[in-house]
Amino acid sequence: MRTVVIGATGHIGTYLVPRLVQAGHEVVALSRGRREPYRPDGAWSFVRKETIDREAEERAGSFGGRVLALRPDVVIDLICFHEESARHLVEALRGDVQHFLHCGTLWVHGHTEVAPTTESQPRHPFGEYGVRKAAIEAYLLDEARRRGFPATLLHPGHIVGPGWTPVNPQGNWDPAVFSRLAAGEPVELPDLGLATLHHVHADDVAQAFQRAIDHRAAAVGESFHVASPAAITMRGYADAAAGWFGKEANLRYLPWAEWRRDVDDVLAEATWSHIAHSPCASIAKAQQYLSYAPRFSSLEGIRESVAWLIEQGQVQAPRLTA
Ligand SMILES: NC(=O)c1ccc[n+]([C@@H]2O[C@H](COP(=O)([O-])OP(=O)(O)OC[C@H]3O[C@@H](n4cnc5c(N)ncnc54)[C@H](OP(=O)(O)O)[C@@H]3O)[C@@H](O)[C@H]2O)c1
């Protein structure tokens, strides 16, 4: 089976491409060739790499044709952020692919209404990213259910694992929060620290894509949450992270307006977005339909990211074993 992965060398592709190779797929990896996967893996020597700039090709109207020319059985689109991009690809591939998998996000739901959130709950996305991803979802599901286009959508939580900075207990990407927890220094959390975060290890995202391909009949025309078995509160996360260093978290709780006063705008905006969404996703559908079985809890996945941050000198703390 020839599988084309669009955006193949990033967080997800680092784990997904080797998995597909090991499962016997003939993989074609598309990217601009600006970066290497986060982890070396011998499987990449069996991968055909194609250098292609999606945005430039879309402007020229040639992206879909270039993907089609690779004669894929399966297309995995990891980097689609606009409905027009999805439309362009669907129009080019219609009738010529067995399965089309799109990487979405839990942000399609907007704020949590009922926890854990199931895929069937109504969407109330907010913010440009979530609104656009929800529009892509609506379009692809309509194409699948009305016109038989073989689309599946997978919606990951906050992706973690070695190679990048995890969303921290304050709901932003400041690695210094982990240094402070490791040193037993005070860490301020907004409100009561009870907003939720829902992480997922990149390899579990890769597993979900692989299993969706394996369970094509159950996957086509459906969306699936791809997250760890359970969301965590900011407070619970901070407590656990301090515990990795033999410390108790020294937490202070501040009303939002007070908390954000001393935090730079970019970090505060990230925190606000995470609090406002407070994702808590059910993974029961993926477990049932796809046999998705995440290997990592949220904290286990985050711990791998933090171990990597320590190795990189971005978090000042004793080394963690992976
Ligand atoms: N990060 C999260 O926590 C999170 C959470 C939920 C959902 N998601 C979803 O995950 C997806 C992103 O996956 P990821 O985290 O694996 O991405 P990533 O780490 O940012 O990697 C992006 C990949 O796409 C390639 N790329 C970027 N721009 C390109 C272009 N114009 N043309 C061709 N290739 C291009 C990159 O390689 P080059 O730079 O070499 O081209 C790389 O291979 C998105 O759909 C996002 O909505 C992410």
Q: What is the CATH number of the domain that holds 177?
A: 3.90.25
**What are the percentages of helix, strand and coil residues in the chain, rounded to 5?**
45, 20, 40
pLDDT at residue 5, rounded to an integer: 98
The pick from 31, 101, 199, 207 for probing ligand 1's pocket by mutation, whose C-beta has the most ligand atoms within 8 angstroms, reads 31
How far is the C-alpha of 206 from the C-alpha of 129, rounded, in Å?
A: 22
Q: Is 79 in the pocket of ligand 1 (CB under 6 A)?
A: yes
What's the CA-to-centroid distance between 7 and ligand 1, angstroms?
Answer: 6
Average of per-residue pLDDT values in the chain:
97
Task: Kindly report, residue by residue over 98-145, the tens digit of the pLDDT.
Answer: 999 999 999 999 999 999 999 999 999 999 999 999 999 999 999 999
Identify the three-state secondary structure at position 156: strand
In a shared domain, residues 36 and 136:
yes
- For the CA atoms of 197, 200, 202, 206, the dihedral, rounded to the nearest 10 degrees, stands at -140
Same domain (yes/no): 181, 275:
yes
Q: pLDDT (tens digit, 9 = 90+) per residue, 274-284?
A: 999 999 999 99
Mean pLDDT of 53-80: 98
Structure tokens at 114: 């009922």
Question: What mean pLDDT comes out for the span 38-47?
Answer: 96
Return d(Cα 306, Cα 175) in angstroms, integer: 8
pLDDT number for residue 24: 98
Give the pLDDT of residue 320: 84
In a domain, 288, yes or no: no
Written as one letter, the residue type at 127 is: G
| Structural domain harbouring 69 | 2-159+199-226
Q: Do 241 and 181 form a contact (C-beta atoms < 8 A)?
A: yes
In a domain, 289, yes or no: no
Which pLDDT band, with edges at 50, 70 and 90, does 319 fall under?
A: confident
Report CA(235)–ligand 1 centroid distance (Å): 30
Residue 322, in any domain of the structure: no
- State the CATH number of the domain containing residue 152: 3.40.50.720
Q: How far apart are CA 145 and CA 181, in angstroms?
A: 49
Task: Look at residue 322 and tell me whether its pLDDT is greater than 80.
Answer: no
pLDDT value at 222 more than 90: yes
- Rounded to the nearest angstrom, the distance between the alpha carbon of 8 and the centre of ligand 1 is 8
- Give the model confidence (pLDDT) of 157-175 as tens digits: 999 999 989 999 999 999 9
Q: What is the dihedral of CA 262, 271, 136, 34, to 10 degrees?
A: 70
Same domain, 6 and 145: yes
Residue 151 shares a structural domain with residue 211: yes
Same domain, 58 and 204: yes
Q: Residue 151 above 80 pLDDT? A: yes
253 sits in which H/E element: strand 250-254
Q: Write the CB contacts of 165 (distance below 8 Å, at least 6 apart in sequence).
A: 173, 175, 305, 309, 314
Q: How many angstroms separate the CA atoms of 56 and 181, rounded? A: 44
Pocket test for ligand 1, best of 51, 52, 79, 136 (most atoms within 8 A of CB): 79
Per-residue pLDDT, averaged over 256-272, amounts to: 96
The answer on 55 and 204 residing in a single domain is yes
